[in-house]
Amino acid sequence: MYNNPDDQTIKELLNNCHTIAIVGLSDKPQRDSFKVANYLQQHGYRIIPVHPRVTEVLGEKAYKTLADIPDQIDLVNVFRKSEDTPPVVEQAVSLKPKAIWLQLGIANEEAAQIATRAGITFVQDRCIKIEHARLLGE
């Protein structure tokens, strides 16, 4: 069973990852993905929405897939069902981000193995917004 990185590692990620692709980012303000993206944006991160049916979220151009993003990505944050994460993680690995992060309630052992085999820090079943507030203060 995969174990998440320790608090120090997560703190370093949050301090060093400035461009975050958010897979499954909704343009609906009531959705958790939107709330998390809005929080991250307000705390100085550049968010890049990834959603096949959205064109823009929070003033940022959305991309249909991770492969469509022309910019370097520091971290890939995933809002997808656990069983849908391995192909997303495979695509994310090709971008060589510093980390891949599955949101709270999302965990997949196969996805964890894909990321760790590629040497990429992997976080699962944790909320990046909650961890940011807890480790770096509001």
From the list 79, 129, 131, 69, the residue with the least C-alpha distance to 102 is 79
The mean per-residue pLDDT over the stretch 89-94 comes to: 97
What confidence score (pLDDT) does residue 2 get? 87
What confidence score (pLDDT) does residue 137 get? 82
- Apex 79 CA angle, 111 and 113, nearest 5: 10
CA distance 19 to 41: 10
Q: Kindly report, residue by residue over 51-81, the tens digit of the pLDDT.
A: 999 999 999 999 999 999 999 999 999 999 9
- Give the type of residue at 7: D
Rounded to two decimals, the pTM is 0.97
CA distance 95 to 63: 14
What confidence score (pLDDT) does residue 138 get? 62
User: Which domains does the chain carry?
Assistant: 7-136 (3.40.50.720)
